[in-house]
């Protein structure tokens, strides 16, 4: 059968990450696993409703809204959990800090202990899961985190699971990654992604290759807004940060993930 891709959209209101269940003839593949206890359990229920076993999990990057839910899908690592070494290492390096940062806010919904990838793949490696062929692309630090990957479903070039490399109708999280490298990577990987029928993103609706240019334009708008809001210094005060947020919300009034408006400075200095 032609693989079917089922999208699970998180019910968590702040970031609403996507996860995906790829349905093959006899088995399933899950791509990313959501953030909260409730959402990851609901994702597992979606998979169970298809009455096929899960053959493996693919992780795009190490932010908790995409990997924390693995604990409720494979609590003992009882299936292959695929990721780049860099993604694994970002998870290891950040887990305790993320618990400290977010557990009080999410309370019982926060996953208290992560399950790590147990099948490390090399950049460009092809793996067969549930009879389907996936290739992992190492995006590196040029995205929303210090380690990003894209999983390509090679069967008929059906899909690219891009994680948070692209955002669809959502503001981009720009705190952990390098914006200049991200912009360069949009150019670098644009032609490759254009070969795949559908781009499945970590936040927002699936799209096609037009989303690449849309993301580039978003960064152009954001960069212009930073310079205008800060009088050309790119150093934020409380007032200029508020002005930047107002400009971006006005430019993209229907976009979700608005909490990212407070994270543009991207390791730049802030002053008061």
Domains of the chain in start order, with CATH, are: 4-209 (3.60.15.10)
Give dist(CA 261, CA 192) in Å, integer.
Answer: 30
DSSP 185-229: HHHHHHHHHTTSSEEEESSS--B-THHHHHHHHHHHHHHHHHHHH
Question: Between 179 and 138, whose confidence is greater?
Answer: 138
Asked if residue 115 lies in contact with residue 70, where contact means CB atoms within 8 angstroms, the answer is yes
Say if residue 109's pLDDT is above 90.
yes
Q: Quick one: CA torsion of 85, 90, 96, 100, rounded to 10 degrees?
A: -150
pLDDT classification of 267: cutoffs 50, 70, 90: very low
pLDDT at residue 234, as a whole number: 86
The 10s digit of each residue's pLDDT in 1-53 is: 899 999 999 999 889 999 999 999 999 999 999 999 999 999 999 999 999 99
Give dist(CA 258, CA 252) in Å, integer.
Answer: 10
Asked if residue 206 lies in contact with residue 166, where contact means CB atoms within 8 angstroms, the answer is no
Give the residue from 118, 157, 121 showing the smallest Cα distance to 136: 121
pLDDT at residue 261, as a whole number: 65
Asked if residue 76 lies in contact with residue 52, where contact means CB atoms within 8 angstroms, the answer is no
pLDDT at residue 51, as a whole number: 98
* Average pLDDT value for the chain: 93
Q: What percent of the chain has pLDDT over 70?
A: 94
Strands (E), 89-165: 119-121, 126-129, 132-140, 148-153, 159-163
pLDDT at residue 8, as a whole number: 99
Give the mean pLDDT of 251-265. 77
Assign 149 to helix, strand or coil.
strand
pLDDT classification of 262: cutoffs 50, 70, 90: low
pLDDT at residue 270, as a whole number: 35
The 10s digit of each residue's pLDDT in 203-257 is: 999 999 999 999 999 999 999 999 999 999 988 898 999 999 999 999 999 999 8
Q: Is 77 left (phi over 0), alpha (psi -120 to 50) or beta?
A: left
């Amino acid at each position: 059968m032609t693989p079917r891709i089922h999208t699970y959209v998180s019910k968590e209101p702040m970031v609403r990450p996507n996860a995906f269940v790829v349905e093959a003839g006899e088995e399933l593949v899950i791509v990313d696993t959501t953030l909260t206890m409730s959402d990851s359990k609901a994702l597992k229920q979606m998979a169970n409703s298809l009455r096929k076993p899960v053959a493996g999990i693919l992780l795009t990057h190490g932010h908790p809204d995409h990997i924390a839910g693995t604990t409720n899908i494979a609590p003992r690592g009882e299936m292959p959990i695929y990721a780049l070494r860099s993604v694994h290492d970002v998870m290891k390096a950040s887990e305790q800090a993320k618990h400290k940062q977010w557990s009080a806010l999410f309370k019982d919904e926060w996953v208290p202990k992560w399950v790590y990838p147990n099948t490390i793949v090399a950049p460009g490696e092809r793996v067969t899961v549930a009879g389907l062929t996936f290739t992992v692309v190492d995006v590196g630090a040029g995205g929303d985190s210090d380690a990003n990957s894209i999983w390509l479903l090679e069967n008929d070039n059906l899909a690219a699971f891009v994680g948070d490399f692209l955002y669809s109708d959502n503001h981009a999280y720009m705190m952990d990654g390098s914006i200049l490298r991200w912009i360069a990577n949009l150019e670098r990987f644009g032609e490759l992604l254009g070969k795949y029928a559908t781009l499945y993103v970590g936040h927002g609706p699936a799209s096609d290759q037009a989303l690449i240019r849309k993301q580039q334009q978003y960064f152009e708008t954001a960069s212009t807004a930073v310079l205008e809001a800060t009088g050309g210094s790119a150093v934020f005060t409380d007032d200029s940060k508020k002005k930047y947020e107002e400009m971006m919300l006005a430019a993209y009034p229907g976009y979700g993930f608005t909490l990212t408006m407070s994270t543009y400075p991207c390791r730049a200095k802030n002053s008061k």
